[in-house]
Amino acid sequence: MKTILITGCSSGFGLETARHFLEHDWNVIATMRTPREGVLPRSDRLRVLALDVTDTSSIRQAVAAAGPLDVLVNNAGIGWLNALEGTPMATVREVFETNTLGTMAVTQAVLPQFRQRKAGVVVNVTSSVTLRSLPLLSVYTASKAAVNAFIESLALELEPFGIRVRLVLPGRAPDTRFGDNARSRMKDGFPAAYGSLAQSIVARLQTRATAITRSNDVAEAVWRAVNDPSCPMRLPAGADAVEWASNPARV
C-alpha cells in the first residue's frame, strides 16, 4: 500500500485531495500548521501531522515522523490580492516564504529517500493565474510562477533517478476559503489610486461563474499526476483553468 504526504490539508484542495486518496485505499499523511480533529474521516490509513512549511525544524520533524513516502503533494499556500504599491515588502516575503520557498524546502527534505529508492512522485499545486495575467495579483502570481519554473527545471535533474514531477494548476475555486483568506489579509485596503480597479476585480470575483474549479477537480488532477506517468507536466484543474490553458490571453 502506497503512502502520500500532502501539505495544507486543513481545508480546500489539500483536504479534498486527502479524502480522495483515502477513498482509494492509500495511506495518507495529512499535514497542516495546526492539526484539527474531525476535518478528515477516521481511518487506520490516516495520520495527521503538524507541519509549517516556513519552519525548517517543523519540516524536518514532519518528514522524519512520516517515514517512507511514495508521493509528496505540495499544496500549502497563502493568497494575496492587492496592487504592488499597496503591498508591504514584508508581505511579499511572507507570500514567497510560504508559496515558493516552503515548496522548495519540503521537496528538498523528501528527495533523499526518493533518490535512494530511485522512485517517487512530487506534485505541486500552483495556480492558473500563471497562465493568464490578472491585475492586483502580481505578487501572488510571481510566487506561483516561480514554483512552475523551479519544478520544470527540477524535473530534468530528477529524471535520471526515476523521480517524476508534475504541476497542477487550479482555477478559481469559490468552494474553498482561499479567496476569503486572501481578502482578510488586506488590513489596510487598496491604495486610493487603484480604487476603481479594485472594486471591479472584487466584483468579478464575487460574481457567479459557470466555468469554475471545484476542490474535487484538483483532487482528481493530483490523482492523475500521481498515477499516470504519461500525463503532461502541467495539468489544468477545473473548467476555467482548462479554458485558460487553451486560450492564455490577457484579461
Residue among 171, 176, 174 nearest 240 (CA): 171
Residue 92 banded pLDDT, cuts 50, 70, 90: very high
CATH classification number, 3-246, choose in 3.40.50.12780, 3.40.50.720, 3.60.21.10, 3.40.50.1970: 3.40.50.720
**Residues with a known catalytic role:** 140
Cell numbers placing 119: 522512485
Residues near 90 by beta carbon (within 8 Å), at least 6 away in sequence: none
pLDDT at residue 244, rounded to an integer: 81
pLDDT at residue 184, rounded to an integer: 59
Q: What percent of the chain has pLDDT over 90?
A: 72
pLDDT at residue 247, rounded to an integer: 75
Q: What percent of the chain has pLDDT over 70?
A: 88
pLDDT at residue 95, rounded to an integer: 97
Domain spans, the chain: 3-246
- Distance (Å) of CA 248 to CA 9, 17, 148: 29, 26, 16
Query: Does the pLDDT of residue 152 top 70, yes or no?
Result: yes
Query: Does the pLDDT of residue 251 top 60, yes or no?
Result: no
Residue 119 banded pLDDT, cuts 50, 70, 90: very high
Measure the CA–CA gap between 60 and 47, rounded to whole angstroms.
Answer: 17
